[in-house]
Amino acid sequence: MKKLSYFLLVFVLLTACSKDDEIINEPDEEQGNPEEEIPEEPEEETPETYAFAPEETLSYMVDASATAETVALFYNLKSVSDNHFIVGQQDAFSSFFDGNDGFSDMKKTTLSDPGLLGSDFMFITDDQNDGTAQNWFYQQEQQIINNALRAYNSGMINAFTWHLREPYEGETFYSDEMTEFQRQNAFKSILPGGANHDYYKQKLDKVAEVSLNMIGEDGTLSPIIFRPFHEFEKDFFWWGAAYSTPEEFKTVWRFTVDYLKNEKNVHNLLYAFSPDNSYLTKSAYLERYPGDEYVDILGMDNYGDLIAQDGSGLNAANQKLQVVSDLAKERVKVAALTETGYFVTPSQTSLAEKFYSENLYGVLTNNDVNIGFMMFWQNYEDSYTVPLPGMDGEEDFVDFVAKDEPLLLNDMHDFYSLPN
């Protein structure tokens, strides 16, 4: 495929706007990891290739009634992962470094939008969203929907995470901002029969409503990669492993999928399972895994192993991603690096010279790693994970996306149709 070459580009930026959105700065919770030695597990026979025909796709998916476009997306993500991966960014159309809106920051640097847009159900399901035109949360909902439809209509992929507020006060998703009672009981309370189970169903009803109304210009529903309860093995979110047993976590996950699929008739979702970077083995990764019939995408979030710019965490990052890649091959799922990035600020000058084109690229490709997509976290007013023209890392980022494997929107074929 023809890849982008480097351009010295001067944009006439549109008038900067103030950013009123609440900042979700969750990567600040991450800490750098020292280089880790991955324990060896007994070798398992891993298929050399997944090799299935387009008409067999549904048999490997969670939803046997998935829409045609959702089936095609699963197939094409799995197929593309043999030799390429989609490059995405969270809030690419709504969060910009230094407030420079208009084009996505990635397009300012590469002349192409990302191939995947990350969004969040957080404001959409907030208790304060009353559905009225003057309500700030409802306005955010409309902006998020409009951006997702813009992405779908252009051929991009939509992925939604969910920073769900805790069910007692509905004010935070961070465990350290909750009372001890709330921390220890919030997740358990949304289990079937729990005190806040009906509350949780109401939030799922809103997810279903939005998903079922995500209708593109061609009249089809946009598929959505739905990624609830991310980074669940850590303890900084109320759904973290410190606050539930593995079986309780699996029960809530299975209920979530069954309710959306069977009760609300939502058939345009792919379900993504994405711990953070704590695991070292397949067995650790699968400790809270609800089963192949409840997961389409095996993901991993990883900031911590990329923080040290001397590269000391890169081998561990690649080996952890290899665990995900190998499991996806064995179980016929899509593998992904669902969140990553290194946050550069005007005062932070420690970005490695080849951070994108060598360090990150090696994590994503060494040792036969095969992923369908990777997603940078969003750019903020005062920091970025994707550099803009003239910023530290710009040329190296262009070198990264110019390689054969990364695909931006300009490089992608139709991901919503099966091959003939």
φ, ψ of residue 230 to 5 degrees: the values are: -70, 160
Round the average pLDDT of the chain to a whole number and report it.
90
Better-scored residue on pLDDT, 43 or 152: 152
Q: What is the pLDDT of residue 129?
A: 98
Measuring CA to CA, how many Å separate 54 from each of 59, 76, 83, 151? 10, 9, 18, 24
Q: Which residues are catalytic?
A: 231, 339
Instruction: Give DSSP secondary structure letters for 181-232.
Output: HHHHHHHHHTSTTSTTHHHHHHHHHHHHHHHHT-B-TTSPBPPEEEE-STTT
Q: What is the pLDDT of residue 37?
A: 52
Q: pLDDT tens digits, residue range 263-297? A: 999 999 999 999 999 999 999 999 999 999 999 99
Q: What is the pLDDT of residue 116?
A: 99
pLDDT above 50 (res 25): no
Mean pLDDT (whole number) for 378-385: 96
Q: What is the pLDDT of residue 110?
A: 98
Write the class of the CATH domain 61-411.
Answer: alpha beta
Q: What is the pLDDT of residue 347?
A: 79
Which percentage of the chain shows pLDDT scores above 70?
Answer: 87
Q: What is the pLDDT of residue 39?
A: 54
Q: What is the pLDDT of residue 7?
A: 36
Instruction: Give DSSP secondary structure letters for 300-342.
Output: EEESGGGS-TTSTTHHHHHHHHHHHHHHHHHHT-EEEEEEE--
Name the pLDDT band for 256 (thresholds 50, 70, 90): very high
Q: What is the pLDDT of residue 34?
A: 42
pLDDT above 80 (res 10): no
Question: Rg for the chain (alpha carbons), in Å?
Answer: 20
- Contacts of 393 by beta carbon, 8 Å cutoff, 6+ apart: 344, 351, 355, 356, 387
Name the pLDDT band for 23 (thresholds 50, 70, 90): very low
Q: pLDDT tens digits, residue range 360-377? A: 999 999 999 999 999 999
Q: What is the pLDDT of residue 32?
A: 42
pLDDT above 60 (res 4): no
Give CA–CA dist 299/338, Å, rounded: 5
Least trusted range by pLDDT, from 41-55, 248-262, 361-375, 392-406:
41-55
Q: What's at 40, amino acid-wise? A: E
Mean pLDDT (whole number) for 379-384: 96
Q: Are 366 and 318 in contact (CB under 8 A)?
A: yes
Mean pLDDT (whole number) for 297-313: 97
Q: What is the pLDDT of residue 56?
A: 96
Q: Which two tokens stand for residue 382?
A: 């005062």
Name the pLDDT band for 49 (thresholds 50, 70, 90): very low
Q: What is the pLDDT of residue 252?
A: 98
Q: Considering the entire predicted model, what is its pTM?
A: 0.89
Q: What is the pLDDT of residue 254?
A: 98
Mean pLDDT (whole number) for 8-20: 34
Q: What is the pLDDT of residue 175?
A: 98
Q: pLDDT tens digits, residue range 179-212? A: 999 999 999 999 999 999 999 999 999 999 999 9
Instruction: Give DSSP secondary structure letters for 26-43.
Output: GGGG-------PPPP---
Name the pLDDT band for 27 (thresholds 50, 70, 90): very low
